[in-house]
Amino acid sequence: MGDTSVDADLTRSAHGRVAKERIYHGLLFSCAALTVFVTISIATTLAVDAVEFFQRVDPYAFFTGTEWVLRSEDPILGILPLVTATLIVTVVSAMVAIPIGTAAAVYLSEYASARTRSVLKPALEILAGIPTVVYGFFALVYLTPWLQEIGLDLSLFNLFSASIMVGIMIIPMVSSISEDAMSAVPDSLRQAGYGLGATKFEVSTKIVIPASVSGIFSSYILALSRAIGETMIVVVAGGSRARMLDPTNPQSNLFNSGQTMTSAMVQAVTTDLSGGTAGYYSMFAIGLTLFAITFAMNLLSNRIAARYREEYQ
């Protein structure tokens, strides 16, 4: 009797564990499926309304047009000025974030003590928690006047200040992901370098960085994707005048106002455009274009990470 009772208890316990595991499996699967569902829903919504837009506006004129004038009657909707302004902001912000973020990651991974790292890394990541509208007002109220004082001929609203702030905003993304990739490099590689007489700087730049290049490059792509989609900083500090890129005068492109793709979407929502017009539906066409760009960059990041990933035993 005693053995039978024990066996029954063990059987019930086993069934209970199996039931719990099925519940956990279902909950976790639901969370994963929800993220996929939301992504597909967003893409589908953008595509449906973008199709409505392209029934009203010639797609060739939209993708090759050099003027963007949003108005209720007879709008001129060429996306190239918005794309060029977005690229300017992305390139300049990358020039700010990539060197600083990578250098910070090298310091945190290779030079900082455990105590210093425990203080500096959370402090650096606080930058990611600051609302982007605060960055925008800081650029407008403080950064632009300071740059004007040191001699730069900036307009009040300009892409240069906005780009610098976007770069500062994405520094934590570059530094945090890069530092994680560098910290994953086995210490045996570092010790081998030291054993051959290499200095700490040589070990950092010639062993650790090459060994973690896939993670570092992925951080660059993700940070730039974030920069492309930034809205409030460019809305507040960059202005809302769509201008085509002038290759003969790069200073004019940077130091004057411009309108990015996200800023144009905000304008389409906040102006007095009536629903059902081409100007109203333009925000969905811009959104789909922006979604395609960031999606392509994320795919590129995954391909590069898989191509150059190092596996250590």
Q: Does residue 221 sit within a domain?
A: yes
**Both structure tokens of 199:** 């200095």
Domain boundary among 10, 30, 56: 56
Average pLDDT over residues 17-36: 86
Range of the structural domain that residue 50 is part of: 2-56
Task: Tell me the pLDDT of the chain averaged across its residues.
Answer: 83
C-alpha to C-alpha distance for 108 and 203, rounded to whole angstroms: 14
The region of weakest confidence among 1-10, 58-67, 133-142 is: 1-10
Q: Does residue 285 sit within a domain?
A: yes
Q: Is the pLDDT of residue 122 over 70?
A: yes
Average pLDDT over residues 101-114: 88
pTM listed for this prediction = 0.82
Q: Determine phi and psi for 69, rounding to 5 degrees.
A: -125, 110
| Amino acid 164: pLDDT | 93
Q: Does residue 75 sit within a domain?
A: yes
Q: Does residue 256 sit within a domain?
A: yes
Q: Determine phi and psi for 77, rounding to 5 degrees.
A: -120, 80
70 and 8, same structural domain?
no
Domain boundary among 56, 74, 102: 56
Q: How many domains does the chain have?
A: 2
196 and 277, same structural domain?
yes
C-alpha to C-alpha distance for 41 and 307, rounded to whole angstroms: 30
- What kind and span of H or E run contains 68? strand 68-69
25 and 166, same structural domain?
no
190 and 143, same structural domain?
yes
Q: Is the pLDDT of residue 93 over 90?
A: yes
14 and 136, same structural domain?
no
Q: Does residue 313 sit within a domain?
A: no
- CATH of residue 288's domain is 1.10.3720.10
Q: Does residue 167 sit within a domain?
A: yes
Average pLDDT over residues 57-65: 85
100 and 73, same structural domain?
yes
106 and 45, same structural domain?
no
29 and 106, same structural domain?
no
Per the listing, tokens 């007879």 go with 74
139 and 30, same structural domain?
no
182 and 154, same structural domain?
yes
Q: Which pLDDT band holds residue 183 (cuts at 50, 70, 90)?
A: confident
Instruction: List the end-to-end C-alpha distance of the chain, in Å, as a whole number.
Output: 52
Q: Does residue 274 sit within a domain?
A: yes
Q: Which pLDDT band holds residue 273 (cuts at 50, 70, 90)?
A: low
114 and 8, same structural domain?
no
Give the contacts of 82 (CB within 8 A, at least 6 positions apart). 68, 242, 259, 260, 261, 263, 264, 286
Residue 298: exposure state from Cβ atoms within 10 A (0-12, 13-18, ≥19)? middle
51 and 66, same structural domain?
no
Domain boundary among 35, 56, 77: 56
